[in-house]
Structure 1
Amino acid sequence: MADEPVLRVQTLVETGLSNVPSSYIQPPINRPNSSPNPPNSTNVPIIDLSNFDPNHLKHACIHWGAFQITNHGFPIRLLDEMRNLGMSFFEECTMEEKLKYGCDGKVAASEGYGSRMLVRDDSVLDWRDYFDHHTLPVSRRNPSKWPEFSTNYRGVVVEYSDQMNVLAMKLLGMISESLGLPTSSVEDAVGEVYQNITISYYPTCPQPKLTLGLQAHSDFGAITLLIQDDVGGLQVLKDGEWLTAHPVSDAIVVILADQVEIITNGQYKSAEHRAITNAHRARLSVATFHDPAKSKKIFPTEKLINKKNPARYKEVTYGDYVSAWYTKGPEGKRNVDALLLQQQDP
């Protein structure tokens, strides 16, 4: 029997359905609260890079694993262009045009226009469509696989990729220094960077209390830089509570991923996060992932290990880690937790 085609969430919404199909309904324990934290409640930390305090960075990395940066030096024009082009692809291109770049999600991290994130067919589906671009190393970069509905789309993606990589490496250096390590320590531990840019489109949802735009997970790579629109919907888990990362004008959200948690021997945490849906407005975000090569071995930095702080994580080959993540499913942080070494009592 041939595989059934993957239905795009946007196509579902355009049929005018009033009830969410069962394959998108989250089990009760995973559903978002009916009243997420109000606008004036605690936001994820905001760090002004023009007046940088390494203690603020350290606190955010220890207690949150995520923070927003302002005055970051990234061209604001480029942030706006990327958001606008992403929204144009999803809302102005015909489905025929979009499906020219379609991927079925059966291959982990396949490039193109898709809806399904996991290889498993029995997982609850996310209320999201996306377009994933392979952007670094340059040898992976093939703009012919990207949309051409706009004359500048491919050029903007290339410029955005290069600028985001510069900022990511700057942040890894700041993270290293905040731990008392040489500036290049975390970057060297990550090695050659593999970068993907994923534009996620979350259509309006008739039953947002039953669904998630993106299920709870921690990113499996090194560091993710994300921009939102003004709709909001990104949530970070802190102390057992889901807190919304309220959009801040021109800010970039920094999300530490699992390999940085391993490299820092657990001193800094990867952020468990998710995306909720909205009944009234579609939402768009752009996430730029910076990951090690599949052959790279990741392990705690030797300078962060001593008698009082023994190694907490097993060494792992990054490609094996990614395969497990896609095959088993994210389920919060269970993949990185599986690498924890059993601690002996002194």
Structure 2
Amino acid sequence: MNEAGDFSHIPIIDVAELVAGGPGRREIAARLGAACRESGFFYVVGHGVDEGLQGRLRELSRAFFALDLERKMRIRMALGGRAWRGYFRVGDELTSGQPDQKEGVYFGAELPADDPRVRAGTPLHGPNLFPDEPAGFREAVLEYMAALTGLGHRLMAGVALSLGFDEAYFAERILGEPLTLFRIFNYPPPADPGLWGVGEHTDYGLLTILLQDDAGGLEVKSRSRWVPAPPLPGSFVCNIGDMLDRMTGGLYRSTPHRVRNPAPRDRLSFPFFFDPAFTARVRPIDVPGRGAIDDDRDERWDRASVHAFDGTYGDYLLAKVGKVFPELRASVL
């Protein structure tokens, strides 16, 4: 086994028994735990998410991004207000202060105006902005988000088992109303090969479930190298985020990653973020057998400690998103 944090490949885990609640789910949970300790990344197959739905989402997304800019800007993020939804142009989003070479659309749970969280003006909660074209885009996005929400619950049940807890551990404490955020990104071929589609970063929450097209370009940071995470048919790439790192005292690590489009055409990416409730207070948990907190502040690209944070997930997230779109910061803070 590699030294923790130094790995050469990303494991592939068949989660069919976990998704079905079958007798083999504890064995699968053990494999998830090993992946969370060693790389923080893993592929899942046997997940049960309909391939036809995935294909439909890909085709509709390509059709949307092929529209002229004026039509895409009809759902620009400035119109989403506190819900933080809608379209952004290439270069509008920043990672570590640098413009990303991608365009995209932000979605979240579709909430009506009379939802208590929307009425209270809770940031990142509200209705989505959907384009008029292509037809069927709204339905595909919402169906896909529902399927990934179900998968997220099952994968986090497996993570709970891997830590020695009951399957419902996270559901009962911080996932009663998970914050589910979905992005569709389009990476054009870079005009400058030195530019990154998205620079080195970690994800903020608990679990990211990523659908890729066949272009490739995702890289994961090992202690001694950058490891490619190429697309595998029928799989999702999953990684854990800063909040699970914090909760486990660094036992399960949120691993830096980055993207550069290597293809001579556009690259599509579909990250789904399955995160704690906005109001959930995220605290360290008593993991059986864990030693002292392993804080990697000095190794992180931002030199920030996820273990020094004390507050709700909403507090943590708002501090991050305000740096991603500085010009929209006032709309959510």
Query: Is TM (by shorter chain) over 0.5?
Result: yes
> Paired residue for 1:57, among 25, 32, 36?
32
Kindly provide the CA deviation profile for residues 19-51 of structure 1, in whole angstroms up to 9, marking residues without a partner as x.
xxxxxxxxxxxxxxxxxxxxxx95421111236
Provide the residue aligned with 1:27 in structure 2. none
> Paired residue for 1:319, among 311, 314, 322?
314
Matched, 1:179 2:163: yes
3-state SS of paired residue (1:298)? coil
Supply the AA of the counterpart residue of 1:205.
P
3-state SS of paired residue (1:148)? coil
Matched, 1:83 2:44: no
Instruction: Confirm or deny: 8 A CA contact 2:178 2:278 kept in the other structure.
Output: no
For residues 124-163 of structure 1, the aligned pairs below 5 Å read 124-135=98-109, 139=115, 140=125, 142-143=127-128, 145-163=129-147
> Paired residue for 2:234, among 250, 265, 277?
250
TM-score when scaled to structure 2? 0.77
Matched, 1:195 2:170: no
| Structure 1 pair 107–289 and aligned structure 2 pair: CA distance change class (3 A) | same
Instruction: Confirm or deny: 8 A CA contact 2:157 2:170 kept in the other structure.
Output: yes
Matched, 1:304 2:287: yes
1:85 shift after superposition: 1.2
Distance 1:273 1:324 in 2: 20
Matched, 1:98 2:64: no
| Structure 1 pair 290–280 and aligned structure 2 pair: CA distance change class (3 A) | same
Unaligned 5+ runs, structure 2: 1-6, 18-26, 116-124, 296-306, 325-333
| Structure 1 pair 148–178 and aligned structure 2 pair: CA distance change class (3 A) | same
Distance 1:181 1:118 in 2: 38
Supply the AA of the counterpart residue of 1:195.
T
Kindly provide the CA deviation profile for residues 104-153 of structure 1, in whole angstroms up to 9, marking residues without a partner as x.
59989821110323499xx221101011112256754535x112213311
Instruction: Confirm or deny: 8 A CA contact 1:221 1:259 kept in the other structure.
Output: yes
Instruction: Confirm or deny: 8 A CA contact 2:8 2:222 kept in the other structure.
Output: no
Distance 2:8 2:282 in 1: 34
Provide the residue aligned with 2:221 in structure 1. 237
1:174 shift after superposition: 0.1
Supply the AA of the counterpart residue of 2:109.
T
Distance 2:228 2:290 in 1: 38
RMSD: 2.9
Supply the AA of the counterpart residue of 1:323.
L
Instruction: Confirm or deny: 8 A CA contact 2:202 2:255 kept in the other structure.
Output: yes
Instruction: Confirm or deny: 8 A CA contact 1:300 1:311 kept in the other structure.
Output: no
Distance 1:310 1:279 in 2: 41
Matched, 1:117 2:93: yes
TM-score when scaled to structure 1? 0.74
Unaligned 5+ runs, structure 1: 1-40, 330-346
Instruction: Confirm or deny: 8 A CA contact 1:226 1:286 kept in the other structure.
Output: yes
